[in-house]
Structure 1
Amino acid sequence: MMKRPLIISTDPGIDDAVAITISLFAAELDVKLISATWGNVSLDKTLANCLKLETFLKKRVPIVSGAKRPLIKPAIDASDVHGKSGMDGYDFPEPDQSLLMPGLAATKIHEVVAKSQEKVTLMQIGPATDFALYFRQYPEDLKNIEELVIMGGAIGRGNYGPYDEYNVSGDPEAAKIVFNSGVKIRVAPLELGHQAFVKQDTMNEIKALGRTGEMLYSILDNLHDGNFTDGLEIYDALAVGMLLNPKMYTFKRAFVAIDTNESYTYGASVMDFDNFFEKPINAEIGVAIDRKQFVKWFVEAIKKAN
C-alpha cells in the first residue's frame, strides 16, 4: 500500500490527542512531522503534550515547536475545557526529548515537503498560525501540497463567539491566509462535531481495547465539554476521518471568507454555498456525517492503535 505522507499542525488538547493517535497508527498514512502550536493551551504545554503522547505510543515521528502566539491578536485559551495542562486525566510517562527537532516549524515543514517524492497532505487541528507562516515563507511549495484537511470554522453558530469557532477565531488572519492560498481544502466544521458523538457504551468498548484505549478513555472522560452519558462530541478526529473514511461524510463546495474586521463577527468563517459573492470555490465543507458509520470507524481506528 502506498502511504500518504502527512504533516500535522496541532495544539493538544484532548481531542487532538485522539486524532494524532489515529493518524500515527493508520496504515494509509505516513506521518512525517508534527508541529505543536499554541492553541488550546500555551505552546510550552502543547509541545510537552505532543512529546508525552508520542512517548506513550512508542512512536518516533519528529516533533517541532511551532508558533507561540497568533499573527496579530492576543492569544486565547481553552484550559477550561481541556484542563490546565491541556491533556489532563492520565499519568503519562516522562516525555522523550529526543523526539524534538530544533528549528522553526515553517522551515521544517518545507524541508519535509521538499524531500518528498510525492505530494504531501497537511492536517490542521488547531489554529492556522503554523501553516499560514509556512505558506507565506515558502509559496513555491504550494504546488507540492496534495490537500489540507482542517477541523475548524462553523457554518452557523460558533463556540467561541456567536459566529466564530475556536480554531479560526484564535487566529483569523492566519485562517484567511490559509483559505486564500489556493491549496485544495476540506473542512470539518463545528456542526459535524455535533453529529459525531460517542456515548458510554462506545467508550466502554474503547476502554477495553488495551493501554491506548484506557488512555483515550481517561483523557476524554476529563474533557469539560459534555459527557459520555449525554454524548461526547468528537471534533479533531473528524479531520483524519476525511483522509481515512471520506464516504461517511456529505460534502458541499463553498467559498469560505474569514472575517478579519474588528467587529462583532471578527473571526467568523462565512461559508458561501450559493455563490452570493461570485467568488471561486476554495473549500469542500463536510455538512453531514453518518453517525453510525462514524462510531464504527472510530472504534476500529483506535483498535489499530493497540
Structure 2
Amino acid sequence: MAQKIMLDMDPGIDDAAAIAIALTDPQFDVQLLSTVAGNVGVEKTALNALKLVEFFGVQEQVPVAAGAKMPLLKPYEDASYVHGESGMPGWDFPAVTTQPVAQHAVEAMRETLMQSPNQLTLVITGAFTNVALLFRMYPEVKAKVDRLVVMGGSLTGGNMSSVAEFNIYTDPHAAKIVFEAGLPIVMIGLDVTMKALLSYDNIAKLSDVNESGAMLQALLQHYADNEATGKPMHDVNTLFYLAHPEAFTLTNYWVDVITEGPALGATVADVLGSHHDTTNVAVATDIDVPAFNAWFMSEVATFMK
C-alpha cells in the first residue's frame, strides 16, 4: 500500500529530485505539496513546485500551497548562492498554467490532515516555519500525523556555521517548536546526507536514462553543493528512508534546538542523558551509500517520462 505523505519543501535543486521521486514512485501518495521561504523566496519555491507537478503531469492530483514568506523571528537568508537565483536553473520549463491553491499552506495542511481518514506522514525538507505555525495554531492536527521525517540538523557539524545546518538555521525557533511537539520524528541530517553523495559517474549517466534524468542532470549542473566524489542530495534522503529504512542506522536522543548566541541553529543531542530522561528524535547516524546510489538511479529509470 502506498505511503500517504504531505511534503513541505523549499525547492531548490535537491528538493526537485525529491519531488520527482515522490510524484512518480507508486509507493508514495502525495496528498499536498506545500512550500516555504528557504533556498529561495516562497513565491519562487511555489513556482518551482508547480513547474515540477506540471512536468510530471500530476497537477490535477497534487495540489501546491504557498506558505510562510519569512521565519518566525529571525531575519530571512536564502541559499540562492547554492541553488541559483530562481532556485531551479538549468532546465527550460514551460510557463506554468496552474496556480497554487488559494489557501495559505498552513490552512491547506490543516484541511488535508483533518479530512484524511488516516494519519499522514509529514516530510519536511525546508525551513520548519509552516509546520511550527500549523502546530501552534491548530494543535488538534497532531493527532492526524503519523510521524515526521525531516531533513535538517546535524550532530557532527554544520554547513551554515560550525554547528548549524541550513534548514534549522533558517528558522531555529520554528524547528524548536516542531522538535518539541511530542510527535515521532526521524531526523535525516548532515550526519548522513554528507555521506550519501550522488556520484559524479551517476550524474553523468542521468541524461541517457530518460527526459526526467536529463532534467535532473541539467539542474544538478547548477547545484553549487560539491564534494570530492559527488553531490549531497540532502532532501532525497527523506524518501530513501521511507522506502528503505533498513539502509539507515538510527539512534534515539533528546535533541535541543539552539535559538540564540553563536550556536544559533545547532541541534544538540543529550548523549549522556544528563538533562533529559526521555528522547524526542530518532537521529540517522549512518547510511548505506552504495544502496542510496543504486536506489536513486533505479528511481530515475522508472520515471514516467
Same topology, TM > 0.5: yes
Instruction: Provide the C-alpha distance between the structure 1 equivalents of 2:25 and 2:254, rounded to a whole number of angstroms.
Output: 31
1:94 maps to amino acid = A
Match of 2:72, SS? coil
Question: Which consecutive unaligned segments of at least 5 residues does structure 1 have?
Answer: none
**Contact 1:153/1:268 (<8 A) preserved:** yes
Compute the displacement of 1:204 (Å). Answer: 2.9
2:84 maps to amino acid = G
Compute the displacement of 1:63 (Å). Answer: 0.3
Q: Match of 1:183?
A: 183
Task: Report the RMSD for the aligned CA atoms in angstroms.
Answer: 1.2
Deviations 1:65-117 (A, max 9, x none): 1100000111011000000101111111111224x210121111111111111
Instruction: Provide the C-alpha distance between the structure 2 equivalents of 1:282 and 1:149, rounded to a whole number of angstroms.
Output: 13
Match of 1:257, SS? strand
Q: Match of 1:298?
A: 296
Q: Match of 2:41?
A: 42
1:109 maps to amino acid = M
% identity of equivalent residues: 35
Question: Which consecutive unaligned segments of at least 5 residues does structure 2 have?
Answer: none
Matches within 5 A, 1:33-112: 33-60=32-59, 61-98=62-99, 100-112=100-112
2:297 maps to amino acid = V
Instruction: Provide the C-alpha distance between the structure 1 equivalents of 2:210 and 2:277, rounded to a whole number of angstroms.
Output: 49
Instruction: Provide the C-alpha distance between the structure 1 equivalents of 2:289 and 2:225, rounded to a whole number of angstroms.
Output: 19
Compute the displacement of 1:279 (Å). Answer: 3.8
Instruction: Provide the C-alpha distance between the structure 2 equivalents of 1:8 and 1:233, rounded to a whole number of angstroms.
Output: 20
TM-score by length of 2: 0.96
Compute the displacement of 1:280 (Å). Answer: 1.8
Instruction: Provide the C-alpha distance between the structure 1 equivalents of 2:2 and 2:232, rounded to a whole number of angstroms.
Output: 29
1:4 maps to amino acid = Q
Instruction: Provide the C-alpha distance between the structure 1 equivalents of 2:276 and 2:132, rounded to a whole number of angstroms.
Output: 25
Tell me how many residue pairs correspond in the alignment.
Answer: 302
Compute the displacement of 1:276 (Å). Answer: 2.5
- When residues 214 and 67 of structure 1 are mapped into structure 2, their CA distance, relative to the original with a 3 A threshold, is same
1:267 maps to amino acid = G
Q: Match of 1:116?
A: 116
1:63 maps to amino acid = V
Are 2:279 and 1:281 aligned?
Answer: yes
Match of 2:209, SS? coil
Are 2:10 and 1:11 aligned?
Answer: yes
**Contact 2:199/2:293 (<8 A) preserved:** no
Q: Match of 1:144?
A: 144
Q: Match of 2:259?
A: 260
Runs of 4+ in 1 over 6 A off after TM superposition: none
Compute the displacement of 1:137 (Å). Answer: 1.2
Instruction: Provide the C-alpha distance between the structure 2 equivalents of 1:127 and 1:222, rounded to a whole number of angstroms.
Output: 22
Compute the displacement of 1:53 (Å). Answer: 1.4
Q: 2:268 aligns with which of 267, 270, 274?
A: 270
TM-score by length of 1: 0.96
